[in-house]
Chain A
């Protein structure tokens, strides 16, 4: 609909159909080879020499030439470090073959919630660490809901220490996760939460977070605080956390 210079568009709201004309300024300042290294993040797609907006949101940019659209969608959304995920079309969320899955008993003190992350559907790539919930068992295969477009299947041999004779005891609605990928330690939210009380937390690339604290109550507190963070500015968040730690 509108053709805008890509650098002028940064911080502006765009709608699908808008075209971002890659700025000539950037092109001049950089050697000609780097022109080809414009990284096209979520919400954008190449359109001739330019970028075509396919999702509504605010244009963001990171040097040298990474562009993406930050949209506030409900599910499978973009927020943190979205530009680092490339859009890869049509890849099934298939963790088959990974041997590093580990099962965790989903007891009453754990809870999952979905956090916004554009990695959600389109960028879930083989090898990504995800959190899934077992929804069924068919002979040797578990069906795992990883919040993607399709259920993932997981062979029972994928569990640690499992052999043909020693079958893992996995129940439906059990939580699967890979214990890794804890949010970057410098993340303010996690740091502030850590100050409240100790808890375990795992973040999956599919936008799910697994939380376990000492009591059910604490787990729920962490979960609701994380959910609330989505709609708070940094200052508001600090205020909320401070109020909260006072009351404890």
Chain B
């Protein structure tokens, strides 16, 4: 629905930053995950980070158009569907980023001449959307049983003012920040897979963000493992 009003100047920005510094500085928001909730796709996951929610579905390995076929590996396709409206340029660039991240862990040579399609439906955006998309994609790939060399997870860091780093920011914090970085890490050697950023930051701040992502990544991987264990606990 169109809401033509833009909210006024950010009046609460200052106090939010202060609150962050004192108490809840550098915490991952509540996250949740539901696996295999859709019946149509081969694998699906709903990933939540705070109020940000992304629903991911994976089809594959499946039949593919001849024009897209690769005879030595599987073709990975990613579709990002926005909450409102049709996918535009922003979604296209996200698709590419997510596709390249997924391709680096998917063991596509085991399924040549097939397609692996990842569909991401944004359900709600409250900051750290890209990292939530990546996490949802990874969980859905796990659920679909796509062969993978390892896992990946993503962490968004926001740099609002000097000497402050917010991990997993919400939409408001993200808007008020001078720089936002999303860093994807893989699980095998805990190396950086993908970095996407906007705004200006120093090399030192970049290293800080990588460090923060590195620390958070182990928590997220543990969360992955716990949710899969829970799913398998019935048998």
Contacts and interface: CB of A to CB of B under 8 A. Distances in A.
B150 A1 contact: yes
B42 A54 contact: no
A73 B61 contact: no
Given A54-B107, A73-B43, A17 B148 contact: yes
B221 interface: yes
Contact of B232 (A1, A17, A54, A72): A72
B111 A149 contact: yes
Contacts of A90: 111-113
Interface residues of A, number: 29
Contacts of A122: 61, 110-111
B151 A16 contact: yes
Interface string B175-187: 0000000000011
Contacts of A56: 142, 145, 228
B225 interface: yes
A71 B39 CA distance: 17
Contacts of A17: 105, 148-151, 186-188
A45 B63 contact: no
Contact of A75 (B42, B114, B150, B151): B42
B231 interface: yes
A56 B151 CA distance: 10
From A73, A76, A87, name the one whose CB has the most chain B CB atoms within 10 angstroms: A73
Contact of B149 (A52, A75, A76): A52
A202 B61 CA distance: 25
Q: Which 3 A-B pairs have the closest CB atoms?
A: A17-B150, A54-B147, A16-B148
Given A16-B105, A72-B235, 10 more contacts: A1-B150, A13-B225, A13-B232, A54-B148, A55-B147, A57-B145, A58-B235, A74-B42, A76-B42, A89-B111
23 contacts: A1-B188, A13-B229, A15-B151, A15-B228, A16-B105, A16-B147, A16-B149, A17-B187, A17-B188, A54-B149, A56-B145, A57-B232, A72-B232, A73-B144, A74-B36, A76-B145, A77-B145, A87-B110, A89-B109, A89-B111, A92-B113, A149-B63, A149-B111
Interface of A: 1, 13, 15-17, 43, 45, 52, 54-58, 71-77, 87, 89-90, 92, 121-122, 149-151
